[in-house]
Amino acid sequence: MKAVPVPFPALLAAPTFLLTLTALFWAGNAIAGQLAVGHVHPFQLVLLRWIMVASVLWAIYGREVRGYWPVIKPMFWRLVLLAFIGFTAFNILFYLASERTTAVNVGILQGAMPGLVLVGAMLAYRTKVSAVQVAGVVLTMIGVVLIATRGTPASLLREPMNSGDALMLVAALFYAAYTVALRERPAMPGAVFFTLLAVFAAATSLPPAIGEALLLEGYRMPSAQGWLVTLYIAIFPSCLSQLFFLRGVDAIGPGRAGVFINLVPVFASLLAVLLLGQEFAWYHGAALALVLGGVWLAQRNPA
């Protein structure tokens, strides 16, 4: 098999920098989701995002994807479902949530995903989990409840969770399921695999976008700001972040690289306050500490 081309080869010498940029770009997606409201429709944004990403990546890796067809063919529909869950459905819910809650909440709730992945791996593959890891998941979930109830957990008994926070939590569950399912992905280079999923994501984003165009009153094409936000999302959180993360994993391994995901809620909170002027209340700080502390505990190796 022909060697897979590697963009930005010089950056391989700085994996820590690469992975920090990855977390920053992923955090920027929470800000972009807020800036997209009223300028580009959620399903429309997801479709345009993956069309852009798939077009660029196919130009780089398309030949390699075709070369792996014998590996892809037996798992074709499973991979289509994987792309739909992890890329299409997750992002649709993410941008719908962004219309209904703050970027601070989106970022911190996104930080719960590593704990959800641990629970998913335990349920799906009976992965050994220690008491410390269980404690970490519990702390993370307490942080999620604190965010969802605006610091008043007892309010859950009186009124339902904010719809945006609920959608973001469902989105996190979808992405956790996608991450757990990656354990059985086909044997192929990560960048080539990501290209394949991006193509499938573009395809599975089309029916929801058509439905949105036909059924949504006042449907329109993106504004100038909508196009700029879509371009940012396609270039940074989608394409460069994924490639940078793959390079970082190659350089220092998945365990050490995964720790950098913990920076996403930190960066998202800071960016939301600095760029959007959103409030950072006491319960945001408490929830952030619980989520980060919980994730740190959840990543401890079982005894």
- Enter the tokens of residue 270: 């800071």
**pLDDT tens digit sequence for 42-52:** 999 999 999 99
At 253 the pLDDT is 60
**pLDDT tens digit sequence for 16-47:** 788 889 889 988 998 999 999 999 999 999 99
At 210 the pLDDT is 96
Cα 289 from Cα 143, distance rounded (Å): 8
At 8 the pLDDT is 53
Exposure of 201 in the CB half-sphere (CA atoms within 13 A)? 34
CB count, 10 Å around CB of 123?
10
**pLDDT tens digit sequence for 252-292:** 665 556 667 777 888 888 888 888 887 777 777 887 787 77
Query: At a CB cut-off of 8 Å and minimum separation 6, what does 213 contact?
Result: 44, 219
**The pLDDT of residue 153 is above 70:** no
240 versus 251: which is more confidently predicted? 240
175 versus 255: which is more confidently predicted? 175
pLDDT band at residue 70 under the 50/70/90 scheme: very high
Among residues of the chain, what percentage have pLDDT more than 70?
83
**pLDDT tens digit sequence for 177-225:** 888 887 788 888 878 999 999 999 999 999 999 999 999 988 999 999 9
**The pLDDT of residue 87 is above 80:** yes
**The pLDDT of residue 160 is above 70:** no
**The pLDDT of residue 7 is above 60:** no
**The pLDDT of residue 246 is above 60:** yes
When the pLDDT of each residue in the chain is averaged and rounded to a whole number, the result is: 82
Query: Where is average pLDDT lowest: 21-25, 92-96, 118-122?
Result: 118-122
